[in-house]
Amino acid sequence: MEKVIIFDTTLRDGEQSPGFSMNIPEKLRMAKQLEKLGVDVIEAGFPAASQGDFDAVKLIADSMKDSQVAALARAQQKDIDSAWESIKNAAFPRIHTFISTSDIHLTHQLRKSRDEVVEMAVAAVKRAKSYTENVEFSAMDATRSDREYLCQVVEAAIDAGAITVNIPDTVGYAIPTEFGELISYIKQKVTNIEKAVISVHCHNDLGLATANSFSALLHGARQVECTINGIGERAGNTSLEEVVMILYTRKDYAHLKTTIDTEEIYNTSKLLTRITGVGVQPNKAIVGANAFAHESGIHTDGLLKDKITYEIMTPESVGLKKSTLVLGKHSGRHALKDDLKKRGYELPDEDLNKVFTRFKELADKKKNLYDEDLETIVAEVVLRAPDNYKLINMNVVSGSFAIPTATVQMEVEGELIKDVGMGDGPVDAAFKTIAKITKTKSTLLKYSVDAITGGTDAQGVVTVRLEEDGREMVGRGAHTDIIMASVLAYINALNRLEYLKQNPIKSSL
């Protein structure tokens, strides 16, 4: 299989889009992760744009060991000189120079004739070539350019020394079949095209950036310019993770490969969101929160039987640990049964049906169902745990000078027991004393407090999650005294755990 060069422009085209700017340390951190990902070329920035951009490109160029580092430059001598100064110490430097070729840009932006643009392109490539053999030329707005003229400029750039020629869909105008045909046309009409790699740089204004890039690859392009999470000007650029995983998943069709470490894709995506503070939409391909999440009953049923039914790639292949079955109003009985089994509940069909009915009722009312919701349903419908442990009274002493001490009296299976214990705080002291009285050895996994109403006299609701011998159980307690609410929640969870021990038919553990 032929290799596709992955040219990442997250730090240049991606970073210049609104909301995605990064400071120099952040750019370096991102560049190091891109190199770890296995990106062939990192376009580090546009050195002539500002001193800050120059400094960032230089720092990245000085730091990369394996990836090529590209600096962007307009077809102007000062831009090209600045680009070289910023990357000259790179292990593998590349100068990337560009000029527009569409009549729209020539008339309204550059105000140059076609012949003048050809001369500027050639002069720029030659200037860059005097610094390095690794020169890339881009014909900006190529997809709206006259095809014969585009080929004339590309051929002249290759004659001047460009070893990569980029065909950008700068405004996201192209349609996949049309773009593929353009690449084929260039391969046929440019007489020296075999001396250069054809690259593509697509924008997503019509949502076709990845499709256009893939079409170009099928017609002979061998470099794709892309960004992490598809960020970039306006609607963004071709998404790196999408192109890479298309080639990874459909190698049978494309017969192309990359050297990207796909298991670093998710980490790279997450790093970018942490740096910029901008997340990806949940339904984003490959790295979105829902990319490996399933709620539909039909889908989860098939997935539980064999993952290949609804997953064309594994979550592990992009760096995720596992896919997620999301329980909601579209979930079926199979998904619910599997989820309950993982929680330790092996319910007979009669009880499962009761839980499923209650689950559907709640799912119609709530947008999201949480672990506590499910466990409360099971407790209400199936467990109905009797009170083996009952609180009779409690007193807690605590303060800035006193050691937190709890005196607790409980009824344990009909017997009154009283004991005293100390802890790091009043709640800890009470919990430790209760554990001593009940002779339980559970571990506190979660402790949370919520106020039912506002005001200092609000009733507090405490939720605790306990684990013992592989079994987990949630308990809740409400009281205007938060310590009292905590104790009631703790005892509630202990009673539910005890019921599971005494009724193994309700639990697979």
State the pLDDT confidence band at 95, using cuts at 50, 70 and 90. very high
Distance CA 204, CA 227 (A): 12
Residue 480 has a pLDDT of 78
Q: DSSP string spanning 409-432? A: EEEETTEEEEEEEE-SSHHHHHHH
The total number of structural domains in the chain stands at: 3
User: Considering the domain boundaries, does residue 286 fall inside one?
Assistant: no
Q: Name the domain boundary from 383, 412, 429.
A: 383
Dihedral sign, Cα of residue 76, residue 79, residue 81, residue 84: negative
- pLDDT category at 350 given cuts 50, 70, 90 is confident
pLDDT, greater one: 55 or 353: 55
- Residue 284 in any domain: the answer is no
The pLDDT of residue 188 is above 80: yes
Residue 329: pLDDT over 70: no
Cα pseudo-dihedral 369, 375, 380, 384, rounded to 10: 180
Is there a domain that residue 182 lies in? yes
Which of 361, 383, 405 marks a domain boundary? 383
pLDDT value of position 311 = 57
Same domain, 180 and 209: yes
Has residue 283 been placed in a domain? no
Report the pLDDT value the prediction gives residue 432, as an integer from 0 to 100.
Answer: 96
Looking at the structure, tell me whether residues 163 and 212 fall in a common domain: yes
225 and 82 in a single domain? The answer is: yes
Output the pLDDT for position 39: 98
Given this model, what pLDDT does residue 293 score? 58
Residue 32: which pLDDT band, with cuts at 50, 70 and 90?
very high
Domain assignment of residue 92, given as a range: 2-276
What's residue 451's pLDDT? 67
Judged against a pLDDT cut of 60, whether residue 425 lies above it is answered with: yes
Structure letter (DSSP) for residue 401: S
Q: Do 251 and 128 sit in the same domain of this protein?
A: yes
Q: Would you state the pLDDT for residue 8? A: 98
Query: pLDDT grade, residue 401 (50/70/90)?
Result: confident
Q: What is the 3-state secondary structure (H, E, C) of 58-126?
A: HHHHHHCCCCEEEEEEECCHHHHHHHHHHHCCCCCEEEEEEEECCHHHHHHHHCCCHHHHHHHHHHHHH
Do residues 379 and 394 share a domain? no
Note the pLDDT tens digit of each residue in 117-142.
999 999 999 999 999 999 999 999 99
Specify if 178 maps to a domain. yes
- pTM for the full predicted model: 0.65
**How far apart are the C-alpha atoms of 418 and 438, rounded to whole Å?**
11
**Class of residue 405 by CB neighbours under 10 A (exposed 0-12, middle 13-18, buried 19+):** middle
Give CA–CA dist 143/174, Å, rounded: 6
Query: How large a percentage of the chain has pLDDT more than 70?
Result: 83
CATH code assigned at 428 = 3.30.160.270
Q: How far apart are alpha carbons 153 and 120 in whole angstroms?
A: 10
Residue 366 pLDDT grade (very low, low, confident, very high; cuts 50, 70, 90): low
Residue pointed to by tokens 């998904």: 335
Q: How far apart are CA 223 and CA 196, in angstroms?
A: 11
Assess if residue 281 is contained within a domain.
Answer: no
**N-terminal to C-terminal alpha carbon distance within the chain:** 50
**Residue 362 or residue 116, greater confidence:** 116
Percent of the chain with pLDDT over 90: 61
**Residues constituting the chain:** 509
Q: What is the pLDDT of residue 298?
A: 43
Contact present, 336 and 327 (Cβ < 8 Å): yes
Same domain, 236 and 92: yes
| Calpha distance 160→405 (Å, rounded) | 85
Residue closest to 81 by CA, chosen among 27, 130, 16, 44: 130
pLDDT greater than 80 at residue 341? no
Please tell me whether residues 98 and 221 are part of one structural domain: yes
The span from the CA of 138 to the CA of 200, in Å, is 9
Q: What is the pLDDT of residues 452-506, one digit of tens each?
A: 555 555 567 788 889 988 777 878 887 878 899 899 999 988 988 887 777 654 4
Segment 226-232 shows an average pLDDT of: 96
CB 157 within 8 A of CB 117: no
- pLDDT at position 509: 26
Tokens representing 423 are 């802890």
pLDDT above 70: residue 308: no
Q: Say yes or no: 172 and 30 in one domain.
A: yes
What's the whole-number mean pLDDT along residues 70-92? 98
Same domain (yes/no): 414, 353: no
Identify the residue with better confidence: 274 or 397: 397
Give residue 384's pLDDT.
59
110 and 34 both lie in a single domain: yes
**Considering the domain boundaries, does residue 406 fall inside one?**
yes
CA-CA-CA-CA dihedral for 51, 53, 56, 59, to nearest 10: -60
Same-domain pairing of 393 and 378: no
Q: Are residues 351 and 452 in the same domain?
A: no
Q: Does 285 fall in a domain? A: no
Check if the beta carbon of residue 228 is closer than 8 Å to that of residue 241.
Answer: yes
Residue that is written with structure tokens 């690859």 in the block = 217
Position 215 scores a pLDDT of: 98
Average pLDDT estimate for 13-30: 87
pLDDT digits (tens, 9 = 90+) for 232-253: 999 999 999 999 999 999 999 9
